[in-house]
Amino acid sequence: MTGLRWGILATGGIAGAFASDLRTAGLDLVAVGSRSQESADAFAARFDIGRAHPSYEALVSDPEVDIIYVSTPHPMHHENARLALEHGKHVLVEKAFTLNRAEAEDLQSLAAERGLLVMEAMWTRYLPHMVRIRELIADGALGEIRAVSADHTQLLPSDPAHRLNALELGGGALLDLGIYPISFIWDILGAPTSVRAVGRLIETGADAEVATVMTHEGGAVSTSLSSSRAAGPNVASIVGTAAHIDIDTVWYSPTTFRLVLPDGTVQEEYVSEVEGRGMQYQALAAERLVHDGILEGDILPIAESVAIMGTLDEIRAQIGVRYPREEV
């Protein structure tokens, strides 16, 4: 541990999962901020947090807090993260990082100007099985990678008023679900050289299904599928000339994978042994970066998070999704 003192901004379900994993890892969770004292008090009691603030402004002004986890809905990420940075706090921002690339670039610039860490909470990248996969790739175990595929499909609430379906709240499959396979593809193959996307929109104008086909440097191809209206296998694969990796369900959480040779021989089988959900690994990574005085991480640099938001912007443009604030 580096001694950083964590504050959590907002008290929804993902905030609870993160708080639980911080406790699992023995990290220093000292404060929570909500839009009401009642909600902050209830969250603080649940996770034994000493300081409960009735506003986000009070949280970011707390001198006992060093780093803040922003867990509000997508449209609030930029505003809330900016508020924390302006008050001198390092920030871990729930994915998708922002609504669009322009907002992401603004946070990147402000953090650099203030000498602070701003990092996207794409927790999957930091999980042990993903670390091992990157090691195998770096060692050449797969040969030349030719294709990557991943899906993130869930049966989620269909109520048009639900956050997941409301455009004004960044609703749709892409930002909630599609960010996982898109970020995974970026992790393995890097930036796409071309993007093709199709989608199905619901009555609110939000995307319920999105599929992508992208090409990458060297001619490798990738495919992704996201859906908020149907649950699929939620698996992923990386196909190389010397071997392929099959990641089991649910591929973006602690799970198993196999390294398989062309003749079908399983050369390695990896089984995750993770306590809790696994969100603590991103927090530990953020602490190490701050401790070492590094503001651009190697697992997911802020420049890459910004560029990924640009890819999501392109996908949305192709399927016809535009958020209300972008109409101004």
Predicted local distance difference test score (pLDDT) of residue 184: 98
pLDDT above 90 coverage of the chain, percent: 96
| Chain mean pLDDT for the chain | 97
**Is a pLDDT exceeding 70 seen at residue 327?**
no
Under the banding of pLDDT at 50, 70 and 90, the label for residue 325 is: confident
**Is a pLDDT exceeding 70 seen at residue 2?**
no
Under the banding of pLDDT at 50, 70 and 90, the label for residue 240 is: very high
Global pTM value: 0.96
Nearby residues of 25 by Cβ (< 8 Å), 6 or more positions away = 276, 280, 283, 284
Q: Tokens in use for 125?
A: 């990248």
| CA–CA dist 54, 52 (Å, integer) | 7
Question: Which of 51, 78, 90, 95 is labelled catalytic?
Answer: 95
Please say if 89 is a catalytic residue.
no
Under the banding of pLDDT at 50, 70 and 90, the label for residue 296 is: confident
Backbone angles phi, psi at 197, to 5 degrees: -135, 145
Q: Tokens in use for 16?
A: 């609870």
pLDDT digits (tens, 9 = 90+) for 96-153: 999 999 999 999 999 999 999 999 999 999 999 999 999 999 999 999 999 999 999 9
